[in-house]
Amino acid sequence: MSPESLAGRDLISLLDYTTEEIQEILDLACEVKANPDHYDRALEGKTLFMYFEKPSLRTRVTFEAGMTQLGGHAIYYTAADGKIGVRESVEDVARNLERWVDGAMCRTFSHEMIQNLARNSEIPIINGLTDLLHPCQALADYQTLMEVKGDLAGKKLAFVGDGNNVANSLMTAGARLGVHVTVITPKGYEPEGEMVAACRAAADTAGGTITIGNDLALVEGADAVYTDVWASMGQEAEQDKRNAEFRAYQINRKVMDMAGEDAIFMHCLPAHRGEEVTSDVADMPRSVIFQEAENRLHAQKAVMLQVMGGV
């Protein structure tokens, strides 16, 4: 399947993409990383609208820098400038944007909002994060895992923490790529059943597996141990409760030793050192957290090149 086949596509969930399409994006991300000058005019004259309901260091800088490095331009717009769906309907915003810009990236709370935006616009809509999914993070994560560990099919990734949007996206991409994804949470924090079922169906086709459990021993044999903050944006009121319930799930040297001496450590950042991960793990030689952060730039450049017609 040619890269041109992705032009004009939305990126809302990686389950909407085939194994081959996700691999195309990852391969292009590696190519862009190795040869950035080859693409420095690929999106010349094109504009990306960036909408933020949730602030972010990595998402804003990597998308905006990515568009600049591809020869295009990005517009930063926040909910303080006018919240989509409040000051103006989602449908009307979508029909305005498609007449002005070549693509839109949205970082929102509501997954339904970004789906509605995509339904009502002819330009590609990129999911920069919703409460349900974070596909661009997962692409950067699997690019990193591929760089460090080689071919992804058959690899084992153990996610420890809340069954949140990052866990969901690691499952969706991993399911398509033939990865064995294990999500380990305290009881009551597992990913929602409908998402797990959809990912398991995809994994059955690609040769991977999706395992959900509550026992830290499930990290044994993992190629990568991954964690995230215990309370995401919007869950601040639950911080103390979550700290107590997740404390036993902290990633420390003991957990990394359980995984094995070749296991790498992954985190989407920001990291709350001393909570979900100890500093000695975050800074250990097998930690790739800043390689993941760098790859947000390259993976998202690949996405924009694909869906905005730059390749």
127 and 163 assigned to the same domain: no
Q: What's the pLDDT tens digit per position in 32-60?
A: 999 999 999 999 999 999 999 999 999 99
Q: What's the pLDDT tens digit per position in 206-243?
A: 999 999 999 999 999 999 999 999 987 777 788 889 99
β-strand pairing of 73-78 with 47-52: parallel
Query: What pTM was estimated for this model as a whole?
Result: 0.96
Amino acid identity, position 85: G
102 and 147 assigned to the same domain: no
Q: Given a cut of 50, is residue 271 above it in pLDDT?
A: yes
Q: What's the pLDDT tens digit per position in 173-192?
A: 999 999 999 999 999 999 99
d(Cα 268, Cα 179) in Å, to the nearest integer?
18
195 and 108 assigned to the same domain: no
Closest CA to 252 of 269, 232, 276: 276
159 and 75 assigned to the same domain: no
Peptide bond into 270 cis (omega under 30): yes
267 and 147 assigned to the same domain: yes
141 and 260 assigned to the same domain: yes
User: pLDDT-based confidence at 64, cuts 50/70/90?
Assistant: very high
199 and 91 assigned to the same domain: no
Q: Could you give the residue numbers annotated as active site?
A: 107, 134, 137, 228, 268, 296
Q: What percent of the chain has pLDDT over 90?
A: 94
If one counts the domains in the chain, the total is 2
13 and 87 assigned to the same domain: yes
Q: CATH number of the domain that 53 lies in?
A: 3.40.50.1370
26 and 144 assigned to the same domain: no
Domain of 277, in residue numbers: 137-292
159 and 239 assigned to the same domain: yes
199 and 303 assigned to the same domain: no
254 and 302 assigned to the same domain: no
